[in-house]
Amino acid sequence: MASREIVPGIVSIQGEYEPGFGYLTSQLILGDEELVIVDPGTAGSPGREVIETIEELGFNSKSDVAAILCTHGHPDHIGGCSRIQKHTKAPVMIHNSDAILIENPSSFIQDRLRLDFAGKLAMKLERGPLKVNYKSISVDKKLQGNESLSFGDIEVEVIHTGGHSQGHCVFYVRDTKTLFSGDELNNYPNNPRKFYVDLSGSLTAKADAARKLQELEINTLIPSHDEVHLDADVPLQFREVRSGIIDFQDAILNHVSARGDVDIEQLVYDIKQSRSVPIPEGLDSLLPTTIVVCLHDLEKAGLVRQDLDDIWHKV
């Protein structure tokens, strides 16, 4: 594990590398007398490294942590909340729509992934970064989005995006022109077109977020699992993210059209066989989950319809 200063006042703490998923990272926003943790990671990684880094920077980890901010409620971002809050006594803050995932961790398995009964049982044995192996805690502040938070001399703008999950937010520090994008942008390393959403998410909201966020003045883009992107490279990431979403929607629509009528399992098979778009990794359920969300977005646009037997047709 390693920590490094990205720009003055912003420190990234790199945890374990998960093949196909990327690094598990946390970030620190430093003020003169206190700091803010962004996304404490899983229950195990970066883990203790967060506390050690805070101490190495000359802060008191038991009194100088002003808040624990979570971009969203997936296990690889909130799993460390319980342990770090117990040590720091800092308030945990997350959007209202994802707070349930901290207060009732099993809801991630029950409500956010397309899993049958066997799949839900298998999740209890899951060992990857999306395993649910952390204690529930109360959320101290439920964010609404489009609000500003002040912690001493630290100012953070909360922007609700709601694409990757219904409660996903990004955090913008205007002083350093830094955007903490969580999983809304650059969901995976080295491929901004590769992504997944949970069942509460929306590809339409994800694409809208990528378009609207580009209007901000951003010199430093910090995704959770990808490398940091700087200056002229930032607009390219936004364009690639939007292109990836459009390509995925087009691929689903084309497969529905080719089949005439199709269920989710057939679409999963067709997408994998065609290799027309990047396939989300980490859990087998991520692709069917993302396909379901995509179909519902296309249904709202009047392009496909679903019958009572969960068979999809092109309109």
User: CATH number, domain at 131?
Assistant: 3.60.15.10
H helix or E strand, kind and range, residue 201: none
The overall average pLDDT reported for the chain is 96
Environment class of 190 (CB within 10 Å of its CB; exposed 0-12, middle 13-18, buried 19+): exposed
Q: Which of 214, 242, 270 is the last residue of a domain?
A: 242
Environment class of 86 (CB within 10 Å of its CB; exposed 0-12, middle 13-18, buried 19+): exposed
Length reported for the chain: 315
Q: Which of 242, 275, 295 is the last residue of a domain?
A: 242
Contact 172, 157 (CB under 8 A): yes
Between residues 282 and 168, the one the model is more confident about: 168
> How far is it, in rounded angstroms, from Cα 1 to Cα 114?
33
Q: Kindly state the average pLDDT of the residues 273-290.
A: 95
Is residue 237 domain-shared with residue 251, that is, in the same domain?
no
Is residue 92 domain-shared with residue 112, that is, in the same domain?
yes
Q: What percent of the chain has pLDDT over 70?
A: 100
Q: Is the pLDDT of residue 153 over 90?
A: yes
Is residue 276 domain-shared with residue 170, that is, in the same domain?
no
Is residue 44 domain-shared with residue 160, that is, in the same domain?
yes
Identify the pLDDT of residue 20: 82
- Residue-wise pLDDT for 216-244, tens only, equals 999 999 999 999 999 999 999 999 999 99
Q: Kindly state the average pLDDT of the residues 107-113.
A: 98
DSSP assignment string, 137-187: ---SEEE-SSEEEEETTEEEEEEE--SSSTT-EEEEETTTTEEEEETTS--
End-to-end CA distance of the chain: give it in Å, rounded: 51
Identify the pLDDT of residue 19: 86
Give every CB contact of residue 246 below 8 A, 6+ residues apart in sequence.
Answer: 207
Q: Is the pLDDT of residue 199 over 70?
A: yes
Q: Is the pLDDT of residue 94 over 70?
A: yes
Residue 265's domain comprises 247-314
Beta-carbon neighbour count of residue 308 at 10 Å? 5
1 — pLDDT class (breaks 50, 70, 90): low
Collapsed DSSP state (helix, strand, coil) of residue 93: strand
Q: Is the pLDDT of residue 179 over 70?
A: yes
Task: Using alpha carbons, select from 134, 59, 136, 143 the residue that is nearest to residue 98.
Answer: 143
Is residue 198 domain-shared with residue 87, that is, in the same domain?
yes
Q: Is the pLDDT of residue 292 over 70?
A: yes
> How far is it, in rounded angstroms, from Cα 164 to Cα 218?
21
2 — pLDDT class (breaks 50, 70, 90): confident
Task: Using alpha carbons, select from 218, 180, 198 the residue that is nearest to residue 132.
Answer: 198
Is residue 200 domain-shared with residue 78, that is, in the same domain?
yes
H helix or E strand, kind and range, residue 6: strand 2-7
Q: What is the CATH number of the domain that holds 270?
A: 1.10.10
For residue 279 the two structure tokens come to: 């396939």
Identify the pLDDT of residue 170: 99
Is residue 23 domain-shared with residue 136, that is, in the same domain?
yes
Is residue 72 domain-shared with residue 152, that is, in the same domain?
yes
Is residue 189 domain-shared with residue 309, that is, in the same domain?
no
Is residue 140 domain-shared with residue 210, that is, in the same domain?
yes
Q: Is the pLDDT of residue 257 over 80?
A: yes
Q: Which of 218, 242, 266 is the last residue of a domain?
A: 242
Give every CB contact of residue 144 below 8 A, 6+ residues apart in sequence.
Answer: 95, 96, 160
Lowest mean pLDDT segment, chosen from 41-50, 81-90, 293-302: 41-50
Is residue 26 domain-shared with residue 127, that is, in the same domain?
yes
Q: Kindly state the average pLDDT of the residues 19-48.
A: 94
What is this structure's pTM? 0.96
Q: Kindly state the average pLDDT of the residues 262-268.
A: 98
In the chain, which residue ranges form alpha helices assigned H by DSSP?
48-56, 75-78, 81-88, 100-103, 107-111, 117-122, 203-213, 233-259, 264-274, 286-300
Considering its fold, how many domains does the chain have in total? 2
Identify the pLDDT of residue 221: 98
Q: Is the pLDDT of residue 93 over 80?
A: yes
167 — pLDDT class (breaks 50, 70, 90): very high
**Sign of the alpha-carbon torsion through 162, 172, 106, 195:** positive
Identify the pLDDT of residue 127: 87
Contact 287, 268 (CB under 8 A): yes
Is residue 81 domain-shared with residue 169, that is, in the same domain?
yes
124 — pLDDT class (breaks 50, 70, 90): confident
Q: Is the pLDDT of residue 210 over 90?
A: yes
